[in-house]
Amino acid sequence: MQGLFIRGRILGARQQSFNGRNGPMTRHEIGLALSRPNGFGGHQEEQLVIRIPSALVQAGVANQANSMVDRQVEIPVWVEAWAGQRGANVTYHLSNEGGIREVEAE
C-alpha cells in the first residue's frame, strides 16, 4: 500500500458534538501519541487527532481503535490544509485506502 501513514501509540477513539454553522454536528476522531526526541536525551509525546469519515465509523473503525488502545499502529491518512483566523493549519483524515494496522514498536 502506498500513501501517507502516521505511526504512533493509539489512545482510542472519541465522539465530539458541537454546534456548527448548520446546527448540531458530531465528529468521530482517533487519538495517536507520537514520541519524539526532546533534545536532552529523552523523549516527549505529542497527541495527534485523526478524523474518521462517517462511512468508516459505520464500518466499525472507532470500535477497532478502542480495542487497540496502547498498541503501536500505522494509520493511512489524507491531509487537508486550510487557513483560518489564526493562520494556516492541517486536519488529518483517516483514508478509505486501508484500516488501522498494528506494527512493531520501534
Numbers of helices and strands, H then E, in the chain: 2, 6
pTM of structure: 0.86
Say what the pLDDT of residue 106 is.
Answer: 67
Answer yes or no: are the C-beta atoms of 27 and 53 closer than 8 Å.
no
Answer yes or no: are the C-beta atoms of 51 and 77 closer than 8 Å.
no
> pLDDT in tens for each of the 106 residues of the chain?
567 999 999 999 999 999 988 999 999 999 999 999 999 999 999 999 999 999 999 999 999 999 999 999 999 999 999 998 889 999 999 998 778 999 987 6
Say what the pLDDT of residue 2 is.
Answer: 63
Candidates 53, 99, 57, 91; CA nearest to 75 is 99
